């Protein structure tokens, strides 16, 4: 009977410490113990070729056997373990290919043995896995250090933050598959009677032949056009992404029902809101009465074939900035922090469009910790002014980023600072070559 082929991933550190064992002179006593505990290469002559293949400057070189066309540097994988820790990974296919290549190039007499079986992480060991690219060895070194720091900071955090981070990575994966329809929705109501709807806006993304197709629209209720707001800006006449349509209440209701029904017919429908509570109430109200069969607020483990799933950009941004509590950022503040320029917010069509842009910005970016560090370098850490509910990965925003009184230019670009100096300490066993 032929044994099944088991595939999965290996931790970067296991490949270094458990497969290729470095020379004792380059390791601390504790690392030396780990390195030789499960040494996989009995023939010392095999170690130098493997060492050269695994060197960080070699991994990112365009002539490395793991080089992938269209990728500058090396493609590795970022995985989240079941305990929510993050690890940098090689795929088992990459490890197998290195064995094959070393032997084919006559750098080893025989295909070298694999690391011991407990090193292999199968699908059940991981919550998420996604490819990551490193252009230089410095990028790779920095990522390894940052992963170790983040794992320490995340120990004992509020479960709410772990749940949000889990959703963030599922959204990233589902978005990368280019399946289904993603639709951001927004309603506006008269601010003195929230049962009186005045506007509806939508922004959709779907794919045909791998090409992204975007559509958006804006409806104004004719019977309510003269109900002007007292406390909230009234921008219904300032839709920035097309022509507004003025319709009566009956048509307003029918158009929204038809839109949602049509979107459901082409696969899974991901409805995107920014702070969804009120908008979902509007969808279910007698003024709209949209059928939402099997609507789910939790994303499944695998990409679904159908169904309606709710995604909230306020939750995604809370995960990205490391917020574990109930402090939800406004759409304006989220767009500012993501450097998305906005105009005439509180127009339902504009708000839907900016909600979609915020979703795209986060979903198409790197894994959560790498993305946070790229957006706000060296600004994650303990903040004595914030309760320790996930504050270990909480972004420390500057006052000018939080204060609406600063100028628009400063709000986008901030004070001029020297970002060339990294504050990441240079002490990590993963940094060995």
Q: Are 229 and 191 in contact (CB under 8 A)?
A: yes
Q: Which helix (H) or strand (E) holds 174?
A: helix 159-176
Predicted confidence (pLDDT) per residue in 219-268, tens digit: 999 999 999 999 999 999 999 999 999 999 999 999 999 999 999 988 89
Percent with pLDDT over 90 in the chain? 71
Q: Are 205 and 360 in contact (CB under 8 A)?
A: yes
Query: Is the per-residue pLDDT at 197 higher than 90?
Result: yes
Query: Is the per-residue pLDDT at 181 higher than 80?
Result: yes
The two three-digit tokens of residue 315, written as one number: 């939750």
pLDDT at 4: 53
The two three-digit tokens of residue 95, written as one number: 């490890």
How many angstroms separate the CA atoms of 330 and 232, rounded?
14
The two three-digit tokens of residue 241, written as one number: 């992404």
pLDDT at 398: 84
Percent with pLDDT over 70 in the chain? 84
Query: Is the per-residue pLDDT at 173 higher than 70?
Result: yes
Which one has a higher pLDDT value, 6 or 118?
118
pLDDT at 431: 45
The two three-digit tokens of residue 232, written as one number: 């909230």
Alpha helices by DSSP H, 240-330: 249-264, 277-284, 313-321
282-300: burial string, b at 16+ Cβ within 10 Å, e else? bbeeebbebeeeebeeebe
- What is the arithmetic mean of pLDDT over 143-169? 93
pLDDT at 1: 44
Query: Is the per-residue pLDDT at 185 higher than 50?
Result: yes
Taking only Cα atoms into account, the Rg of the chain, rounded to an integer number of angstroms, comes to 25
pLDDT at 429: 39
Collapsing DSSP to helix, strand or coil, 127 comes out as: strand
Query: Which DSSP string corresponds to 86-123?
Result: EEEEEEHHHHHHHHHHHHHTTSSSSPPPPPPGGGEE-G
Predicted confidence (pLDDT) per residue in 394-407, tens digit: 999 888 887 665 43
pLDDT at 428: 45
Q: Are 113 and 41 in contact (CB under 8 A)?
A: yes
- What is the arithmetic mean of pLDDT over 19-40? 50
Strand partners, 90: 10
Q: Who contacts 267 (Cβ-Cβ below 8 Å, separation ≥6)?
A: 179, 180, 181, 305, 306
pTM score of the predicted model: 0.84
């Amino acid at each position: 009977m032929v044994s099944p082929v088991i595939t999965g991933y290996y931790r970067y550190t296991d490949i270094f410490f458990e497969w290729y064992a470095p020379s004792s002179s380059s390791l601390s006593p504790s690392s030396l113990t780990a390195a030789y505990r499960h040494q996989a290469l009995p023939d010392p002559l095999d170690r130098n070729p493997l060492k050269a293949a695994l060197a960080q400057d070699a991994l990112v070189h365009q002539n490395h056997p793991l080089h992938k066309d269209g990728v500058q540097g090396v493609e590795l994988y970022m995985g989240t373990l079941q305990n929510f820790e993050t690890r940098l990974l090689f795929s088992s296919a990459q490890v197998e290919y290195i064995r094959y290549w070393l032997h084919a190039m006559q750098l080893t007499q025989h295909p070298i043995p694999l690391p011991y079986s407990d090193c292999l992480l199968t699908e059940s060991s991981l919550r998420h896995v996604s490819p990551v690219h490193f252009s230089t060895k410095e990028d790779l070194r920095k990522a390894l250090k940052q992963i170790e720091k983040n794992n320490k900071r995340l120990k004992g955090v509020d479960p709410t933050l772990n749940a949000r981070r889990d959703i963030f990575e599922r959204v990233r994966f589902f978005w990368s598959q280019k399946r289904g329809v993603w639709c951001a929705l927004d309603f506006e109501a008269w601010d003195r009677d929230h049962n009186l709807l005045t506007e509806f806006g939508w922004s959709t993304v779907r794919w045909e032949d791998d090409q992204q197709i975007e559509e958006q629209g804006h409806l104004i209720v004719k019977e309510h056009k003269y109900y002007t707001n007292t406390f909230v800006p009234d921008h219904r006449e300032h839709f920035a992404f097309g022509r507004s349509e003025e319709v009566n209440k009956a048509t307003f209701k029918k158009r929204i029902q038809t839109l949602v029904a049509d979107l459901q017919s082409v696969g899974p429908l991901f409805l995107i809101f920014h702070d969804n509570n009120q908008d979902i109430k509007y969808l279910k109200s007698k003024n709209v009465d949209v059928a939402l069969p099997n609507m789910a607020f939790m994303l499944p483990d695998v990409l679904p074939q159908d169904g309606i799933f709710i995604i909230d950009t306020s939750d995604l941004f809370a995960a990205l900035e490391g917020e574990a509590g109930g402090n939800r950022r406004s759409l304006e503040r989220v767009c500012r922090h993501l450097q998305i320029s906005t105009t005439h917010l509180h127009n339902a069509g504009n708000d839907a469009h900016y909600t979609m842009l915020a979703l795209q910005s986060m979903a198409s970016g790197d894994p959560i910790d790498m993305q946070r560090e790229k957006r706000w370098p060296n600004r994650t850490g303990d903040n004595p002014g914030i309760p320790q509910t996930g504050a270990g990965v909480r972004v420390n925003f500057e006052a000018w980023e939080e204060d609406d009184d600063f100028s628009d230019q400063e709000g986008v670009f901030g004070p001029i600072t020297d970002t060339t100096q990294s504050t990441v300490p240079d002490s990590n066993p993963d940094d060995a070559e």
